[in-house]
Structure 1
Amino acid sequence: MQYEFKNSFGNTFLLTKFDPGNNWIYNDWQGLLSMEGIVEGCAGMLNILRHTHCPYMLNDNTRLQGSWKHANDWLATTLVPQVVEAGLRYYAHVAAPGVFGQASAEDLHLRVGTTFEMRIFETLEEAQEWLRDMQHQNQPAT
């Protein structure tokens, strides 16, 4: 299951999909984001989460430009309760390059608090490693 979202210029701003090989939902955000795009993209991601009940999410902002802090109120008050209800427990966030992307991620992290476990990473590899560690720690004992 996957969705691709494009802006009015036909440019992809989000590819979101369930990755069964890694057992996580992967979000690849790109370019500049409008509030409308964030809401639309998050609806697709939430739909995947509701269908899979996958507790692990990898949010990749390495190709994102600028700030998305303008969406953090909506994310914290509207989206976060919905993703928790749908089963999200571990959220690995790869920050966008530059100070604005990092500041947006840190602001969201403060708002999320202990609602679910969120970690911010500089590289995709670090985020993937952490999610794999969380999966390993949460495997039932045999």
Structure 2
Amino acid sequence: MDLATLVDREEIYIGFDAANQWLYTDWKGEYTKERSRATCLLMLETIRAHPCAKILNDNTNVTRTNVELTQWTLWWLEEMRQAGLQCIAWVYTRAFDAREATEATVVRIERPRVATFDDLASAYMWLQQQIVQTT
């Protein structure tokens, strides 16, 4: 991926992939609920500044997390949708223990489309195939 760097911090890298017209996020390190929410808000700020319909959300570099999908997460996804997000491919970290609960929540989310993956290549291919609405 040839990326234009938008954010480069210890906890996350956010780049714009011009060839695919999407944001790529690379989450790094350990995540608590507070750190996760702060990083999500940074993603929201970034998508508002650089509107984009797709995100390749890579969590493979997360070393530990105790974060679960909550009502706050659903609020955040709605804010992201209002900022233009239509599809998000979420690549799980190996350190994620709340997979079953997350999958039960993800299947109920209609907009934006959320799909989860175990590897970056599958997420990349799925996201490339998603058709977005243009206004």
**TM-score, scaled relative to structure 2:** 0.80
Aligned to 2:7: 3
Paired with 1:26 and 1:105, the residues of 2 have a C-alpha distance of: 21
Kindly provide the CA deviation profile for residues 39-81 of structure 1, in whole angstroms up to 9, marking residues without a partner as x: 221222112211222110111011113334346332113x112
% identical equivalent positions: 25
- Alpha carbons 1:26, 1:59 under 8 Å: kept: yes
Q: Which runs of 4+ in 1 moved over 2 A?
A: 65-73, 101-108, 137-140
C-alpha deviation, 1:125, in angstroms: 0.6
Kindly provide the CA deviation profile for residues 6-52 of structure 1, in whole angstroms up to 9, marking residues without a partner as x: xxxxxx22112222232111111122112232222122211221122
Structure with the largest fraction of helix = 1
Aligned to 1:50: 48
- Alpha carbons 1:28, 1:60 under 8 Å: kept: yes
Paired with 1:70 and 1:102, the residues of 2 have a C-alpha distance of: 9
Aligned to 1:29: 27
C-alpha deviation, 1:92, in angstroms: 0.3
Structure 2: runs of 5+ lacking an equivalent: none
Superposed CA RMSD in Å reads 2.4
Q: Which has the larger radius of gyration?
A: 1
Corresponding pairs, count: 130
Structure with the largest fraction of strand = 2
C-alpha deviation, 1:105, in angstroms: 4.1
Alignment equivalent of 1:39, drawn from 28, 34, 37: 37
C-alpha deviation, 1:117, in angstroms: 0.8
Matches of residues 120-139 of structure 1 in structure 2 within 5 Å? Answer: 120-134=116-130, 137-138=131-132
**TM-score, scaled relative to structure 1:** 0.77
Aligned to 1:8: none
Aligned to 2:91: 94
- Alpha carbons 1:68, 1:104 under 8 Å: kept: no
Structure 1: runs of 5+ lacking an equivalent: 6-11
- Alpha carbons 1:95, 1:105 under 8 Å: kept: no
